[in-house]
Amino acid sequence: MLFFVVLGVVLIGVHGSENSSDSDLLLRIKSELDDPNGVMEGWSLESNVCSWYGLTCSYEQVVGLNLSLSGLSGSIPRDLSRLSSLQTLDLSSNLLNGVIPPELGRLRSLRVLLLYSNYVSGKIPPEIGLLKNLQVLRLGNNMLLGEITPSIGNLSELRVLGLSYCQFNGSIPAEIGNLQHLISLDLQNNSLSGLIPEEIRGCEELQNFAASNNMLEGDIPSSMGSLSSLEVLNLANNTLSGSIPASFSGLQNLKYFNLLGNRLSGNIPFELNRLSQLEVLDLSRNKLSGAISLLNTRLTNLTSLVLSDNALIGSIPSNFCLGDSNLQQLLLARNKLSGRFPLELLSCSSLQQLDLSDNGFEGELPPSLDKLENLTDLALNNNSFTGVLPPEIGNLSNLENLFLFGNMITGRIPVEIGKLQRLKSIYLYDNQMSGHIPTELTNCSSLTEIDFFGNHFSGSIPDTIGKLKNLVLLQLRQNDFSGPIPPSMGYCRRLQFLVLADNELSGSLPPTFRFLSELSTITLYNNSFEGPLPSSLSLLKNLKIINFSHNRFSGSISPLTGSNSLTALDLTNNSFSGPLPSSLATSRNLSRLRLAYNRLNGSIPSEFSQLTDLNFLDLSYNSFTGEVPTQLSNCTKLEHFLLNNNQLTGTMPPWLAGLQQLGELDFSSNNFHGRVPAELGNCSKLLKLSLHSNNLSSNIPWEIGNLTSLNVLNLQRNNLSGPIPTTIQQCQKLYELRLSENFLTGSIPAELGGLSELQVILDLSQNLLSGEIPSSLGNLMKLERLNLSSNQLRGEIPPSLGKLTSLHMLNLSDNHLGGQIPSTFSRFPLSSFMGNDQKPCGPPLVPCSESEGQAKRQLSNAAVIGIIMAIVLTSTFICLVMIYAMLRMWCNWRRRVSISNLDANGGFDQPNKIGEEKTRWGLLGEKWRINVGEGSSAHFSQIYFRRNGVVPYCTIRRMCSSIRGGALGVRCTASKIRMSFAGGPLLSLS
């Protein structure tokens, strides 16, 4: 008896010392963890260890530590490995970091290790394989990486292995097949690759295998068909290929089977119909083909069948469904199914979701569709269904979502639609429906979304639209609706998207719009709305997108500037007037501002510099004045900057070079002067540069060649001078180049022939370009229009231009060109070549052979005329000699008579002298006309002087000074005065 008493005391002492040792160890573990929630505050030597929070004891030994969901942080304490009796360690769902201590491999009694849902990193230590008694290992939802250690295959007692939602890579270790007692294997959401190991067939008791969302590849091992205990198989979203093994028919306990998002091909095995326990089958987003071979008559427990996004053909099997079916979800979207609506489905009365969208079904919808009385979602969109929407649709009392868009349905919306009290969404867009919207539709009080876009609906919007208190989306765009917006629409207070564009609506906006406080998007473009905007629109603070373009609104745009959330405002083509409100700058998120084709005036507010997210600014076709504010240089995200057709002044801002995202710059048709900024060469993303119709002068900067992305360059109708910069050849993407109506000089750069993408036009007309046309222009094979007219080009038309077979407009007129016209140009009119004084020849002008013949004939005629003139001159000379002799005889006789008369009269006869002076200057009343060439600006048409006399120099000067612009040169002969003018032809007096 004494022996047993002593033994008891000894045992109590031993246990007490072990308990004391555990308490010290646990207190050290506590000190290494951050415990913001104080779950370990009760850990104290003043109380028994086994009463401490989270601890489980057996025979005074700590066998369990559970501190999950405690908010603990810090590293996993290595001293945990010294709790040698520990069987359960649960530190899951905390904020622990660091690595898994290899020392945990010493816990040989451990059966459950739960470290999931922390921030643990690093690799799984191979020492984990020493835990021979471990049955549950869950390390998922951490930051673990690297390969899964093969030592896990040593855990022969393991039942549950959870390694999901980490960053593991490499392949699934073949050693997994050693885990004969494994029930659950969860590897999903990692980066595992390679093949599924054949050895997995060794996991004979496996019930759950999830490896979705990895990068597994290759065929699915057919040996997996021997895992007869398998209930869940999820291999979704990998890159598995090949066919679905027919051996899977052996998975008699399978309930959930998911292979979506792989690259599986071939037919769906008919053998899958043997899986009588199957409840969910998802084979969507693969490359499966052939007919649907699955029958709900055999898969009696099937509730969800998803075969969407494959290449299945045919239709639904005739014996697909029975009356006692449990099928609730049938999704067959985006296949190649065809035929009429499958009536076989009407036997699946349990169906709640039916999706046949994006197939090739056709024909009319059956009136017996109402047999699917449990249907909540019906998606038949993007097929070729015809006919009308059957009135029986109103009997589907559980229907919540109706998607019929993208078909060829005609007729009206049946009034029976108003019976669908649970209807939330109705999408009928892109059909051919017509008629009015039935008032009964507004009885569907649960409606949140209505989309009737792209039909032929007409009439007015129902006055009772305000009854739809839950309406979020109203899309009626591109129909034939007319009349005003009903005031009751303002009572759809949850409305966020109002899209009424492309109709025939009219009138003004109702003042009740002020109640649409949740409105985010409103588009009314392409209607006939008019009048000023209600000032109460400024109360709509959630507006993000406003498009009122192409209407007849007038007045101020100020009511639309009240939302700080605004991202896009388009009021193009209205009659808005007045200045641009600076308050618009408070919408700091504004990215698109389009106000073109209005009557806005005043200056551009400098406050717009606050719109730093602006990428599209279009103020064109208004009456803005003043200079472009320097502050706009802050809008560095601008991609489209359009100020054309205003009355802006000043110089082109050099700070434009800071807009590095600029793709389109159009400042044309204003009053800008000065030079084209060379700094624009820094806008490397510029696609369109249009500065035409201004007063810009000086040279075109050579830096223009830095715009290597440029598609359009238009500098016409300015006062630019100097040569065309050869650096333009670097703009290899140019397809439109317009430099006409300037004062450019020099020759046409041969480098322009390297612009192989030039297609729309090359226009260098009405300049002062000289030299020959470079033959390299014949390389512009895509060019459609070429205009080099009204320059001073010389030489022949290069034969290489004949290769420009895409040309449909050519103008080489008013130059000094000559030679033979390329034969391919014969299709162009005479006007393309007129006004060249070197007389080019060939079709459409006179043939070159005829031109040469005319020259020869003219030479022969000249010879004949020369002979005749020689004879006439000789005869004239003889006659003159004879007349001279006779006159000398007469003069001598006359002198003798005059002397005698002088002596008698005493002087000259003055009246006779005056008459002789008049005779010397000729007939003073004879008219001489001035022939004025086109383009000159003379203001007189007639001058009087003697035909054969000499015009005094002072008279010529008076004539020159009366011609505006002044003559550059005057040449006089006995019968002609020629004057040349700057920029115009000669003026001839003859």
Q: Would the pLDDT of 22 be above 90?
A: no
- 657 within 8 A of 680, measured Cβ to Cβ: yes
Q: What is the pLDDT of residue 890?
A: 62
pLDDT level of residue 853 (50, 70, 90 thresholds) = low
Global pTM reads: 0.78
Q: What is the pLDDT of residue 11?
A: 36
Q: Would the pLDDT of 51 be above 90?
A: yes
- 25 within 8 A of 79, measured Cβ to Cβ: yes
Q: What is the DSSP letter of 26?
A: H
Q: How many residues in total does the chain contain?
A: 990
Mean pLDDT value of segment 860-878: 62
- Report CA-CA distances (Å) from 412 to 458, 485, 917: 10, 21, 103
pLDDT level of residue 955 (50, 70, 90 thresholds) = very low
pLDDT in tens, 369-386: 999 999 999 999 999 999
Q: Would the pLDDT of 2 be above 60?
A: no
Mean pLDDT value of segment 529-557: 96
Q: What are phi and psi of 743, to 5 degrees?
A: -125, 40
Mean pLDDT value of segment 942-970: 38
- 586 within 8 A of 563, measured Cβ to Cβ: no
Q: What is the pLDDT of residue 859?
A: 46
Distance CA 545, CA 562 (A): 13
Of residues 461 and 905, more confidence is placed in: 461
Q: What is the pLDDT of residue 325?
A: 85
Distance between the two ends of the chain, CA-based, in angstroms? 160
Indicate the range of 290-304, 499-513, 773-787 predicted with least confidence: 290-304
Distance CA 283, CA 311 (A): 12
Q: What is the pLDDT of residue 518?
A: 97
pLDDT level of residue 899 (50, 70, 90 thresholds) = very low
pLDDT in tens, 333-392: 999 999 999 999 999 999 999 999 999 999 999 999 999 999 999 999 999 999 999 999
Distance CA 522, CA 476 (A): 12
Q: What angle do CA 651, 656, 660 make, to 5 degrees?
A: 170
Percent of the chain with pLDDT over 90: 80
Q: What is the pLDDT of residue 846?
A: 84
- 515 within 8 A of 487, measured Cβ to Cβ: no
Mean pLDDT value of segment 706-735: 97
Q: What is the pLDDT of residue 868?
A: 62
Q: What is the pLDDT of residue 5?
A: 35
pLDDT in tens, 174-221: 999 999 999 999 999 999 999 999 999 999 999 999 999 999 999 999
Q: Would the pLDDT of 6 be above 70?
A: no
Q: What is the pLDDT of residue 848?
A: 81
Q: How many CB atoms lie within 10 A of CB 388?
A: 14
pLDDT in tens, 764-817: 999 999 999 999 999 999 999 999 999 999 999 999 999 999 999 999 999 999
DSSP of 366-413: PGGGGG-TT--EEE--SSEEESB--GGGGG-TT--EEE--SS--EEPP
Mean pLDDT value of segment 134-146: 97
Q: Would the pLDDT of 136 be above 60?
A: yes
pLDDT in tens, 273-296: 999 999 999 999 999 999 999 988
Q: What is the pLDDT of residue 504?
A: 98
Q: For residue 546, what are the β-bridge partners?
A: 522, 569
Q: What is the pLDDT of residue 863?
A: 53
Distance CA 272, CA 246 (A): 7
Give the residue from 583, 627, 626 showing the smallest Cα distance to 608: 583
What is the β-pairing status of strands 712-714 and 215-218? unpaired
Indicate the range of 230-244, 250-264, 511-525, 893-907 predicted with least confidence: 893-907
What is the β-pairing status of strands 761-763 and 785-787? parallel
Give the residue from 379, 436, 382, 439 showing the smallest Cα distance to 412: 436
pLDDT in tens, 687-717: 999 999 999 999 999 999 999 999 999 999 9
Q: What is the pLDDT of residue 901?
A: 38
Q: Would the pLDDT of 970 be above 80?
A: no
What sign results for the dihedral spanned by CA atoms 403, 408, 413, 419? negative
pLDDT in tens, 473-484: 999 999 999 999
pLDDT level of residue 870 (50, 70, 90 thresholds) = low
Q: Would the pLDDT of 10 be above 60?
A: no
Q: Would the pLDDT of 926 be above 50?
A: no
Mean pLDDT value of segment 421-447: 97
pLDDT in tens, 614-648: 999 999 999 999 999 999 999 999 999 999 999 99
- Mean pLDDT of the residues in the chain: 87
Of residues 823 and 663, more confidence is placed in: 663
Q: Would the pLDDT of 943 be above 50?
A: no
Q: Would the pLDDT of 957 be above 90?
A: no
pLDDT level of residue 133 (50, 70, 90 thresholds) = very high
Q: Would the pLDDT of 894 be above 60?
A: no
Give the residue from 336, 345, 383 showing the smallest Cα distance to 364: 383
